[in-house]
Structure 1
């Protein structure tokens, strides 16, 4: 039976809408537009970002779950274990709304539902074609490096994305057919790009004009599902059944999925960097299990597994919040703001000495505070997915070197270390050498003319050839994400008035103008983001950062395992201490102590590591 519900035009009112809050948010928006948060002294910049976040929470959260739906995923019946354990599929995180955020539920939106454009061929395949945009504005001639960080940032990001979202496997019928110019060397004319899977919960009897929706086949929660599986069957297969442990890559008992399409090495996007992160934090889970077993020897396999999963997931969230993100957006204001997300403005030292000293997330951080959905059921959003299209972070050329003395092991390309080939490197190269090589190589900057060439001619495991740059452009159009200028307007940012204002230099501005027929309103979101002048210390755009301001904190605020249930009673006292005491540096050194010299003195593992080459004589 169909369930018809009317979607609200705006998020429910009531979230900090009193006069003082309106003054704060209006002042923040005014100062940001006139001066820019990044040009202010740190205290003023923090206040401005705080006001902008409140306004974004008020104006940029929209619930697609209220649209007509059928055949929605059914969570398992509630049980006592749901009170203290994360479920395999993300259900029962919100005990009052057990379906919220579970695998198979819809992506939300950060734009009004009526602003979502239908996926009509006339818009998806409009001039310029996604392939023209790829060739003209995105092709990398030589690596434009992000010199303030190392290539672990690229591996880490994909590792996180595998936890956060996936639209699922595209159907092979009805592909989008992208017309190509005669001299395009692509082997097939027209280029075929598979469609995003339809929403299986969409009601076929929904009123005409109902916005398109899609579902997230992963859990929306920050629950390390890339390690622990998306459902109970996957999770069971990953576990050893002893002391809470998980199988490792080099474990002879490691399971091979019955469905070959689910074998991780054949899932599109598998590469060496992802395998390295997967291995590292699977080992970290097992180390946590051993630590807990020592502290609580009577605990069963199930208890050890469930506590270790909570602890490992929280450690990942902490590393991303206070290490990865401050490394890639290292402006002094954002570094302070992101650390405040975790510890509050009181800071880490006060937290270590006294714990939470206030109920306020501003003073004492989000973890351990109150759960808050801001009037809209929690879900990751299509706009969040769109701004995380950051393939330029990935290098084409990789120079692998030994951690012992920095000697060359071999040169390889991204093609060599992607897909099943990645496992050959895991089998023939020491993990410490791989980590050292990533830690001492710069990634690419997220900018124009810097898309990995290999990913513009990427052969999927099924043999289908794909230009991922063209696909990224098409996906935003297909999913109704606004073009660049309209996206900025909906975030209350000033749109670009001319191509010369948007582009880095006159030559690029001319490329834009010619490609988009002189109409700045047609500029696609992704290339607009890539074209922006970056704030100091940023590896990606300020417009994308607005979605992070909103969604990065929301992933913590809405999750009771980071808020009301972030306690020793749920995690254990030993578990809370593990989260407090560890970082990416300590995780790396625990499992690969050979890295000690390369990491000596570093507090953030995502900045360039020290070379271990012997001093010249």
Structure 2
């Protein structure tokens, strides 16, 4: 078999967006955005501009890798009645016509034309400046540049989400990339070795020369809380208690820890805190559903609670996390409209959906729409989510009762097995309070965590994650910054001074890239940009979010046609409507009440308790 058949056009629903009126709307939106900038407009014209940009991105920036030659493509489990109302562990059968769509082991899509994917040749991946030179010259943090509008829960939450969304898998140890080092580089081995991204096991070895590279996602592409529930049935069975739908806990509070946290990529305190919180939330949902439907058994309670918990996570990310990190008034309104439509939350709570249109009543409960392209997360989505600067190097842990200092920790002391030591010796409420009152880093140049530039991998090898981030985009064929902007129909930077409003940075970038603006790496450009008001990351990255944030909801039938009381249960739907990140925290840690009193969004800085002073 040399190509994959799919029938996604059954619910493409996007023909009208190519009609003459929509061509006018999208053309005006792009013109106004390039000339003025959506963020400089008043609220209503700003929203209309973002709407037009999203339609154009859906038309031009979804590209299908499943049509490329493939082999070794096992079929998912045969369809059964349970697939219609239950999420599968591996993400299969979300689309009932195309059961492989979005499941574990399927390819990443692209937001750029397949012909624009550059091959991963040494000349391209290791071109000057090589990734280590970029890391040292432009990314190294000397002092934390804080993102003052948010708290450090945004960093923990983001990694928690990423563990659900995507992973390229474990890198092979053979044939690593060998990065030359400068004479004054203190790295302990020469050359620096960075493991390659695993090959696509579904690729047909007989594919014609020049066929674009593809990689697979070893997580499911769906927003299905797989970081809590596992990515296959074996994992899921180990996580379940077998009683009343609940997940396993030890000491009545925390889930079982990995047998060897050092071998879990990215394992750190913030991640395990979120994992624990929403494992407890799953069990609370089970109690709620058992009280409402006492005849339900373990399987029914588990499956409904999983749907509810995953939807609550998606809601929190859409209407709380994202508006906190991009808190421009227009984007706050736009993200809330993704969930409730322009009619708003109050109308939704009173009347439910009042129109079929996602613009009026939001995406959840609307029509499933793949926009003519099989659903998949994309390599460009992965690239713009490289936000390691959010992580602090130094952590001041304090008591929620009186703001008293408990300990000072470095990030190294919060990662790997050390995270469990902190978790077992510090009250979890105090940890959440500390995260809620500490700023994360801004996603910008010269702000990469020092510890992550000298990160010890599970296999004992040192890794500079800043250099790795640069290398990965090159390796995976993600365009350099200016070409990336062109492919999103944005104006490229004509000079280094236009790239950034920081003259010192402009000179540094110009010197490092030898006066060639076209060679500036995507990550460098994203980090150097002037940020829109209220943003903790770049406007260029935001363009991928405009497209993909809604697509993750539009394509998932459990957030569209099957987002109903008949599937979730009436009590389950009410739980999603009634809860926020703040209510989840207070349900499990009521000690946080004074710190969260009056805080409308749990991802913005909390109150200091007992008259204490912020460090």
TM-score range, shorter chain: over 0.9
Which residue number in structure 1 is paired with residue 201 of structure 2?
Answer: 200
CA contact (8 A) 1:331 1:538 kept: yes
Which segment is superposed worse, 510-519 or 148-157?
A: 510-519
Equivalent residue, structure 2, for 1:3: 2
Residues in 1 aligned to 2:122 and 2:299: alpha-carbon distance in whole angstroms: 50
Q: Which residue of 1 aligns with 2:480?
A: 483
Cα distance change of structure 1 residues 615 and 181 upon mapping to structure 2, 3 Å threshold: closer
Partner SS, residue 16 of structure 1 = helix
Cα 1:188–1:513 shift into 2, 3 Å: same
SS in 2 for 1:64: coil
Question: Could you tell me which residue of structure 1 aligns to residue 67 of structure 2?
Answer: 66
Q: Deviations over 1:414-453 (max 9, x none)?
A: 0000001100011000000000000000000000000000
Aligned-pair CA distance for 1:48: 0.1
Partner of 2:9: none
Match of 1:190 in 2: 191
Q: Answer whether contact 2:145 2:447 (CA < 8 A) is retained.
A: yes
Aligned to 2:331, the other structure's residue is in SS state helix
Partner of 1:310: 307
1:249 shift after superposition: 5.3
Aligned residues: 608
What is aligned with 2:575?
A: 578
Which whole-Å CA distance do the structure 2 matches of 1:490 and 1:253 have between them? 46
Q: Give the whole-Å Cα distance in 2 for the aligned partners of 1:249 and 1:166.
A: 28
Name the CA distance, whole Å, in 1 between partners of 2:261 and 2:166: 16
Paired position in structure 1 for 2:288: 291
Answer yes or no: is the 8 Å Cα contact 2:255–2:279 preserved in 1.
no
In structure 1, the residue matched to 2:120 is 119
In 1, Cα distance between the equivalents of 2:299 and 2:585?
26
What is the deviation of 1:524?
Answer: 0.2
State which of 409, 415, 420 in structure 1 corresponds to 2:417.
Answer: 420
Q: Secondary structure in 2 aligned to 1:613? A: helix
Q: Distance in 2 between matches of 1:345 and 1:574?
A: 25
Deviation, structure 1 residue 248:
2.5
RMSD: 1.6
Confirm or deny that 1:501 pairs with 2:502: no
Q: Which residue of 2 aligns with 1:82?
A: 83
Deviation string, structure 1 residues 20-66 (Cα, Å, up to 9, x no partner) = 00000000000000000000000000000000000000000001011
Mapped contact 1:75–1:98 kept (Cα < 8 A): yes
1:171-320 superposed matches below 5 A: 171-248=172-249, 250=251, 263-320=260-317
Instruction: Report the CA distance between 1:273 and its aligned residue.
Output: 0.1
1:613 aligns with 2:614: no
Structure 2 distance, partners of 1:513, 1:613, is 50
Cα contact 2:145–2:442 (8 A) shared by 1: yes
Verify the 8 A CA contact 1:15 1:58 in the aligned structure 2. no
Partner SS state of residue 162, structure 1: helix
Counterpart-to-counterpart distance in 2, 1:569 and 1:12:
24
SS at match of 2:15: coil
- Write out per-residue CA displacement over residues 358-394 of structure 1, whole angstroms, 9 at most, x where no aligned residue: 0000000000000000000000000000000000000
Q: Which residue of 1 aligns with 2:43?
A: 42
User: What is the SS of the residue equivalent to 1:410?
Assistant: strand
- Contact kept in structure 2, 1:237 and 1:255, CA below 8 Å: no
- Aligned residue among 371, 376, 387 for 2:373: 376
Decide whether aligned partners of structure 1 residues 273 and 604 sit closer, same or farther in structure 2, where only a CA change above 3 A counts. same
Quick one: structure 1 residues 496 and 250, their matched pair in 2 at CA, closer, same or farther if it must change by over 3 Å?
farther
Structure-2 residue corresponding to 1:359: 356
Q: Measured at CA, do residues 95 and 279 of structure 1 come closer, stay the same or move farther in structure 2, by a change above 3 Å?
A: same
1:130 CA displacement:
0.1
- Residues 253 and 6 of structure 1: is their aligned pair in 2 closer, same or farther, counting only changes over 3 Å? closer
Match of 2:342? 345
Deviation at 1:251, TM superposition (A): 5.8
- Between the aligned partners of 1:65 and 1:250, the Cα distance in structure 2 is 46
**Maintained 8 Å contact 2:90/2:103:** yes
Residue 609 of structure 2 aligns to a residue whose secondary structure is: coil
How far apart, CA to CA, are the structure 1 residues paired with 2:249 and 2:418? 18
Counterpart contact for 1:6–1:68, Cα < 8 Å: no
Q: 1:510 to 1:479 in 2, by over 3 A?
A: same
Q: 1:18 maps to what in 2?
A: 19
Shift of 1:503: 2.5
Among 387, 405, 419, the alignment partner of 2:384 is 387
